């Protein structure tokens, strides 16, 4: 029986839109694409999630990758605006979380995200009502590393077979299943997710 609903953050609870942030900061589309490629779309970016890359170093390296000198100041500007400039609540999800909580489930967050997001977690709707939160940078490991899932279950004393994990990345949901969790691959279809959760709620109520 599912008793614990574990949400991913990006593209599940929160919309992630770094290119839009670049467009808002840059003078034109070509410039926005250049800044995006140098900062957000570079392999170094994922180092923020596992805590291996410092924001200051990332900024310095991203600025060096930009051949257009006038665009370089946009990099620290974008980083200073994080996470509010790249994350916003996914429409409909705060209300779904309300329903999940009211249905008697315990609710958790398991997210690949950097220190800046962890330190500004209040931007995630209803986060103050979650029963537990694990951010990858704080643990210095990322999904789909099974050790990160283990951090959540051990810290909050959860049974894997009582957890339903909701994530938009198939590698992450598959890792959860291998650990004995149930998982739902979320692609934006909230009615389908609601049906899965309603079935779990019926079992919980019986």
Note the pTM of the prediction, 2 decimals: 0.96
Q: Are 14 and 173 in contact (CB under 8 A)?
A: no
Residue 206 pLDDT more than 90? no
* CB burial of residue 38 (10 Å; 0-12, 13-18, 19+): buried
Mean pLDDT in the chain? 97
* CB burial of residue 30 (10 Å; 0-12, 13-18, 19+): exposed
Q: Where are the domains of the chain?
A: 4-15+87-205, 18-80
Residue 156 pLDDT more than 90? yes
* Dist. CA 59–CA 183, nearest whole Å: 36
Predicted confidence at residue 134, as pLDDT, reads: 98
Helical residues (DSSP H) of 29-145, grouped into ranges: 29-38, 55-65, 74-80, 93-102, 115-119, 136-139
Secondary structure (3-state) at 205: helix
Q: Return the CATH number of 4-15+87-205, one of 1.20.1250.20, 3.40.50.11540, 3.40.50.1000, 2.40.170.20.
A: 3.40.50.1000
Residues 26-39: tens digit of each pLDDT: 999 999 999 999 99
What's phi and psi for 110, nearest 5 deg? Answer: -135, 105
Residue 129 pLDDT more than 90? yes
Q: What number is the average pLDDT over the span 77-102?
A: 98
């Amino acid at each position: 029986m599912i008793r614990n609903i574990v949400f991913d953050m990006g593209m599940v609870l929160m919309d992630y839109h770094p290119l839009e942030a670049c467009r808002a900061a840059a003078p034109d589309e070509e410039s926005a694409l250049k800044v995006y490629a140098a900062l957000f779309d570079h392999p170094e970016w994922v180092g923020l999630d596992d805590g291996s890359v410092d924001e200051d170093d990332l900024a310095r390296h991203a600025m060096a990758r930009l051949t257009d000198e006038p665009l370089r100041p946009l990099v620290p500007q974008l980083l200073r605006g994080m996470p509010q400039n790249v994350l916003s609540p996914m429409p409909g999800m705060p209300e779904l979380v309300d329903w999940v909580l009211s249905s008697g489930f315990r609710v958790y967050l398991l997210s690949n995200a950097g220190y800046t997001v962890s330190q500004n977690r209040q931007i995630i709707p209803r986060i103050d009502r979650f029963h537990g939160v694990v951010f990858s940078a704080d643990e210095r490991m990322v999904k789909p590393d099974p050790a990160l899932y283990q951090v959540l279950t051990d810290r909050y004393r959860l049974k894997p077979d009582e957890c339903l994990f909701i994530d938009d990345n198939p590698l992450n949901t598959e890792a959860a299943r291998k650990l004995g969790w149930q998982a739902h691959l979320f692609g934006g279809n909230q009615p389908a997710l609601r049906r899965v959760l309603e079935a779990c709620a019926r079992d919980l109520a019986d």
